[in-house]
Copies of this chain bind each other. A is one copy, B any other.
Amino acid sequence: MSTFGSIFRVTTYGESHCKSVGCIVDGVPPNMSLTEEDIQPQLTRRRPGQSKLTTPRNEKDQVEIQSGTEFGKTLGTPIAMVVKNKDQRPHDYSEMDKYPRPSHADFTYQTKYGIKASSGGGRASARETIGRVAAGAIAEKFLQQINDVEIVAFVSSVGDCSMDRSCLNPDFMELLQNITREQVDAAGPIRCPDPEKAEKMTKIVEHYRDQHDSIGGVVTCVVRNVPIGLGEPAFDKLEALLAHAMLSIPASKGFEIGSGFEGTKIPGSKHNDPFVQKGDKLGTSTNNSGGIQGGISNGENIYFSVPFKSPATICQEQQTSTYEGSDGVLSSKGRHDPNVVPRAIPIIEAMTALVLADAYLIQKSRESTFGVVY
């Protein structure tokens, strides 16, 4: 469905060619200062076409808060947000509409619903993520205020060019400890903080773009200053909620936390994170667990990676079939994004914030009862 979260809860709406896209965010704590200026920056980072523009086109994807705040403060009531669509008209039927686009949602939407939006995939459109990013900006502000929580995502691979993101690589673990959102954006449109890799990744994207083809990549995200105790066993372990959130992002194909797939090769004696005193609380000297043990945050950095497939829309001719089963050739027109991972970054940050804000509030309801002598 279109609702995510239980206490801090977002419901999104909208597709490509309707009047607007947006969301309702319910359960936002009251008394928090909040205006459109807290939300717009991440929407702006999500916008298409950023890398080809010399001036920011601020007129696009402007968010407008409809409810839930007064005099710049949250009321504790639902916050609705609206972003107008520029192209509000469903398009007319064309020859190309006979073909479900390969690896797109055209076919599955048509079969599931018995109808589909003229734009094709309907809610599979990237515009659906606007509501998420707007809601996530509120969640993120809340987490910052509560515990200085920092969420930073960046591109860690494009095609076959990859940073070494092993949990055994001290440089990568150091980077996770220090990387800022500003550094990520300063790294150029590819949003990879390793300058050499960034240059190579950019060339890879240009290569596929010039061939009217596309290429995928991986985004890594780190969260610092997470309170201990977030996540609800057994089914709502914190990593399970994060995985759910990440796999709900269009074009994502996976998720790994901490040592991930490669970690299966590390024996327990080396993989286990020993406990050490850190300031006034217990921490771990390594962090192969990725900040979560038994489904519950342990106070160390949470970090995970998410692969995104090569975009399905390409301008090469593709041999495929019509809805009716006749073989044919589909030729897509127009300019298409040869690689989506840089734009996925604010979406990943948003979904991460939504998961953590909800988990935080649920845990707080429990902690409220600790002090009582039963």
Rounded to whole angstroms, the CA-CA distance of A224 and B309 in the bound complex is 23
A11 contacts B24, C-beta separation under 8 Å? yes
Residue from the list B118, B263, B275 in contact with A216, Cβ < 8 A: B263
Q: Does A177 contact B (CB under 8 A)?
A: no
A109 contacts B296, C-beta separation under 8 Å? yes
Q: Does A168 contact B (CB under 8 A)?
A: no
Rounded to whole angstroms, the CA-CA distance of A118 and B47 in the bound complex is 35
Q: Indicate whether A362 sits within 8 Å of B364 (C-beta atoms), given known contacts A248-B236, A260-B254.
A: no
Q: Indicate whether A268 sits within 8 Å of B312 (C-beta atoms), given known contacts A13-B78, A253-B258, A362-B365.
A: yes
A372 contacts B309, C-beta separation under 8 Å? no
Rounded to whole angstroms, the CA-CA distance of A184 and B21 in the bound complex is 38
B116 contacts A22, C-beta separation under 8 Å? no
Which B-chain residue is minimally distant from A101 (CB atoms)? B272
CB distance from A346 to the nearest CB of B (A): 16
CB distance from A362 to the nearest CB of B (A): 6
A105 contacts B282, C-beta separation under 8 Å? no
Q: Indicate whether A208 sits within 8 Å of B1 (C-beta atoms), given known contacts A255-B255, A365-B365.
A: no
Rounded to whole angstroms, the CA-CA distance of A163 and B103 in the bound complex is 26
B244 contacts A241, C-beta separation under 8 Å? yes
Residues of B within 8 A of A82 (CB): 66, 82
* Interface size band for A: 35 or more
B282 contacts A369, C-beta separation under 8 Å? no
B267 contacts A310, C-beta separation under 8 Å? yes
B257 contacts A254, C-beta separation under 8 Å? yes
Residue from the list B3, B309, B364 in contact with A369, Cβ < 8 A: B364
Residues of B within 8 A of A159 (CB): 264-265, 267
A124 contacts B233, C-beta separation under 8 Å? yes
Residue from the list B118, B250, B307 in contact with A260, Cβ < 8 A: B307
B374 contacts A32, C-beta separation under 8 Å? yes
Rounded to whole angstroms, the CA-CA distance of A18 and B78 in the bound complex is 11
Write out, one digit per residue, whether chain A residues 165-201 have a CB within 8 A of any chain B CB (1) or not (0). 0000000000000000000000000000000000000
Which B-chain residue is minimally distant from A76 (CB atoms)? B113
Residues of B within 8 A of A369 (CB): 29-32, 142, 146, 361, 364
Q: Does A314 contact B (CB under 8 A)?
A: yes
Rounded to whole angstroms, the CA-CA distance of A210 and B268 in the bound complex is 13
Residue from the list B15, B213, B364 in contact with A268, Cβ < 8 A: B213
Rounded to whole angstroms, the CA-CA distance of A15 and B80 in the bound complex is 11
B295 contacts A75, C-beta separation under 8 Å? no
Q: Does A136 contact B (CB under 8 A)?
A: no
Residues of B within 8 A of A2 (CB): 24, 26, 77-78, 233-235
B71 contacts A90, C-beta separation under 8 Å? yes
Which residues of chain A (290-324) have a CB below 8 Å from chain B?
290, 292-298, 305, 307-314, 316, 318-321, 323
B297 contacts A108, C-beta separation under 8 Å? yes
Q: Indicate whether A253 sits within 8 Å of B248 (C-beta atoms), given known contacts A14-B67, A100-B275.
A: no
Residues of B within 8 A of A122 (CB): 75, 77, 233
Q: List 11 A-B contacts (CB under 8 A).
A: A70-B90, A74-B115, A103-B289, A107-B298, A214-B268, A215-B264, A242-B247, A243-B246, A250-B294, A253-B261, A276-B320
Q: A215-B264, A260-B307, A274-B318 provided; 15 other pairs, C-beta below 8 A?
A: A20-B80, A32-B374, A76-B366, A108-B294, A111-B298, A123-B233, A160-B265, A240-B246, A244-B244, A253-B261, A253-B263, A254-B260, A266-B310, A268-B312, A364-B368
